[in-house]
Amino acid sequence: MLTKLSGGTVYDPAHGIDGKVMDIYIRDGRIVERPQDTERIDQEYKLNGKIVMAGAIDMHTHIGGGKVNIARSMLPEDHRHDPAAHSGACRAGCGHAVPSTLTAGYRYAEMGYTAGFEPAVLPMNARQAHLEMGDTPMIDKGGYAMLGSDDLFLRMLAAKKDQNAINDYVAWTIAASQAIGIKVVNAGGINAFKFNQRFLDLDEKNSRYDITPREVLKTLSRAVYELGVPHPLHVHGNNLGVPGNVETTLNSMAGVEGYPMHLTHIQFHSYGVEGDRKFSSGASRIAEAINKNKNISADVGQILFGQTVTVSGDQMSQFRNAELGSPRKMVCMDIECDAGCGVVPFKYKDQNFVNALQWAIGLEIFLLVDDPWRIFLTTDHPNGAPFTSYPHLIKLLMDKSFRKDVFATLNADAQTMSTLASIDREYTLYEIAIMTRAGAAKLVGLHDRGHLGAGAAADITVYTDNADREKMFAKPDYVFKDGQLVVKDGSIVKVVWGATHTVRPEFDRGIEKEIKTYFDKYHTIKMEHMKVSNDELEDGGRSKIIVQECKGRREKTA
């Protein structure tokens, strides 16, 4: 079966193609070179005047795992107020901030997204996370396994174990939880919370293990690099949401000593203490540091106004924030010896000084970071806003007059604290394609996604050019997933199940002896039971596993 997409205007930053009219050919789910003229085209889509990009990739979205389910069960009102009736190919569902798995998949595809990555897979909860993601249709999935606050890692660090042993443990965790990267949340802080510490700065010691977050970040970023895992260490920094945390974030960047690091939802970590209310924007300093340090990348975690729910492994921050919840409900819990979790519903208000400034800080970071290959478009779904607000966010980035109009309606005190009105940058379609496609695929380590070159999976989104970018990105004309037409005119026409992306770095199996002893002594289940098998992911053939290439283990680098 040979499909031709003819005459579209193609944006493919991975190959430097910026709005060139060209044809794309798809055979058996893959993009192929132009076939010989004698070959018969089975199907042709005439895309003259349309905009063609690879399928979008959300590199940080909470769509699976225990905390999402806690949020769902805690917020029946979120579901009552947003029902989605069954129609055509789709089954019924519901939910605005934390949609049901099926609805989440449909809504992603209807916006032209073809992959999403769950950033907080607790190894102990990996099975639950994968089962939920496996039940999310349309898109490819993957997860980052959480380390850094688990007792075994901290014990190893406290015992001054060799970096190689730690690398083996990190690789074992990736393999056992079928992840594609490693994430650290409030490095060591979730553990410190269990020993009654309520704040933990970068150089503050965990009272039990005598370990500082700086050591955790350095050791883990080095481990991920030495294992050759393409996705750099995914870091949710310390002191989330605390005014003045811009210093912590800048020190964290320096603390990894040149190893690659991805700072996630950096908007929540870019707050200063200036002004009458001791809360100000640290965006320009953060952006300057990102521009300077090429080993650092970041996603923004933009907030947008309205009701949502914050779900996080950062129990320490969520415990602090619980009082601010709206409606007043919350869950904060320890999860075995791994980490913790906190769920607090939240309503961002445009007339609230702090919320309005958070909104401006996020946009300032977007606009002040020069290199779109190292800054990514996220709302940290659902923490800053549900992912369904991405088209609105894209419009804010691409349309300065719209952005300024919205800004002018916000809390007046917040306006005086932000330089946003003086920033004239507008993102181009090419830059949006980098952020949401090529750059994201490169960052996560997806070799066959996010671009439109021969050999890539045919995940393709086709839009009608519209000066109103929100309308344009909310409703693509066509979405192809692995070569199949799945969305037409913004509605699902065929339901597919996507695949799970993983990496499999090499490691010495000898490490299992120590891990097993630890599991036997402290955990509620056996080590062998914790491992997620391939069969569980493939779910009888409905899904499949794609093992992305690792760069190969490096020798000691320090």
Minimum distance between the CB of residue 486 and another protein, rounded to whole angstroms?
Answer: 25
Minimum distance between the CB of residue 75 and another protein, rounded to whole angstroms?
Answer: 7
Minimum distance between the CB of residue 327 and another protein, rounded to whole angstroms?
Answer: 6
In our burial notation (b when 16+ CB lie closer than 10 A, e otherwise), range 517-550 reads ebbeeebeeebeebbbeeeebeeeeebeebebeb
Torsion of CA 42, 43, 48, 54, to 10 degrees: -100
Closer CB to another protein, residue 75 or residue 397? 75
Interface residues for another protein in 24-83 (CB under 8 A)?
Answer: 74-77, 80
Calpha distance 228→518 (Å, rounded) = 26
Minimum distance between the CB of residue 85 and another protein, rounded to whole angstroms?
Answer: 8
Closer CB to another protein, residue 311 or residue 368? 311
Which residue in 384, 311, 335 sits closest to 70, CA to CA?
311
Closer CB to another protein, residue 43 or residue 73? 73
Minimum distance between the CB of residue 90 and another protein, rounded to whole angstroms?
Answer: 14
Contacts of 286 (CB under 8 A, 6+ apart): 246, 249, 250, 266, 269, 270, 298, 365
CA atoms within 13 A on the CB side of 523: 22
In sequence order, what are the beta bridge partners of 311?
343
Closer CB to another protein, residue 19 or residue 327? 327
Closer CB to another protein, residue 46 or residue 86? 86
526 belongs to the binding site for another protein (CB under 8 A): no
Q: Which stretch binds another protein (CB under 8 A): 51-59, 299-307, 326-334, 361-369?
A: 326-334
In sequence order, what are the beta bridge partners of 185?
236
Minimum distance between the CB of residue 77 and another protein, rounded to whole angstroms?
Answer: 6
Residue carrying structure tokens 């085209």:
41
Contacts of 40 (CB under 8 A, 6+ apart): 2
Closer CB to another protein, residue 329 or residue 347? 329
Closer CB to another protein, residue 73 or residue 466? 73
Interface residues for another protein in 79-118 (CB under 8 A)?
Answer: 80
Minimum distance between the CB of residue 71 and another protein, rounded to whole angstroms?
Answer: 12
Calpha distance 518→525 (Å, rounded) = 11
Calpha distance 108→96 (Å, rounded) = 13
Minimum distance between the CB of residue 136 and another protein, rounded to whole angstroms?
Answer: 23
Residue carrying structure tokens 């909860």:
125
**How many binding residues for another protein (CB under 8 A)?**
8
Answer yes or no: are the C-beta atoms of 19 and 11 closer than 8 Å. Answer: yes
Closer CB to another protein, residue 86 or residue 516? 86
In our burial notation (b when 16+ CB lie closer than 10 A, e otherwise), range 2-22 reads ebbbebbbbbbbbeebeeeee
Interface residues for another protein in 327-386 (CB under 8 A)?
Answer: 327-329
Where along the sequence are the contacts to another protein (CB under 8 A)? 74-77, 80, 327-329
